[in-house]
Amino acid sequence: MSLEKSLWMIMILTVGLLIVCNKNTPTETEDQLDTPTLSSPPENATLDTATPKLQWNSVTNASAYECVVDNSSDFSSNEYSNANIQNTECTVSALNSGTYYWKIRAKDGSGNTSNWSSCTPELSGFNG
């Protein structure tokens, strides 16, 4: 299995939520399904909610998606986890102020999984 470095970082500020890219955590690669592409909120967006709606593209042959959010880039104690999302979005439960990381992967009916999602490399910097 090869390793791919990919995830997004979410930072909740007193005035909002900041999404930035972080490519420091390796994830395992599976070849059965295409990897979901994160679409919203856009990287580096500042949001005014502690319950962000996360969205990604649909993957052909996916029957469900798995989303994890953690305040640690190694995902050692998930703050939010849902392994059976039936569409291409989820609203995360209330998060405290701080820095959070999130990732998505697709699953098919046989239990095969895609790679974890990647961030969009051409987006950088901070907004707000």
Choose among 51, 30, 53: nearest CA to 116. 30
Burial, 30: exposed, middle or buried (Cβ in 10 Å; 0-12, 13-18, 19+)?
middle
Number of Cβ atoms within 10 Å of the Cβ of 22: 15
> Cα Rg for the chain, rounded, in angstroms?
14
Half-sphere exposure of 101 (CA within 13 A, CB side): 20
> What is the pTM for the complete model shown?
0.70
Tell whether omega for the bond before 41 is within 30 degrees of 0, i.e. cis.
Answer: yes
Residue boundaries of the structural domains of the chain: 3-107
pLDDT at 40: 84
Domain 3-107 has what CATH class? mainly beta
pLDDT tens-digit readout, 35-55:
998 888 776 666 677 888 889
Q: For the chain, which ranges sit under pLDDT 50?
A: 1-5, 14-16, 21-30, 120-128
To 5 degrees, how large is the angle CA 4–CA 24–CA 119? 65
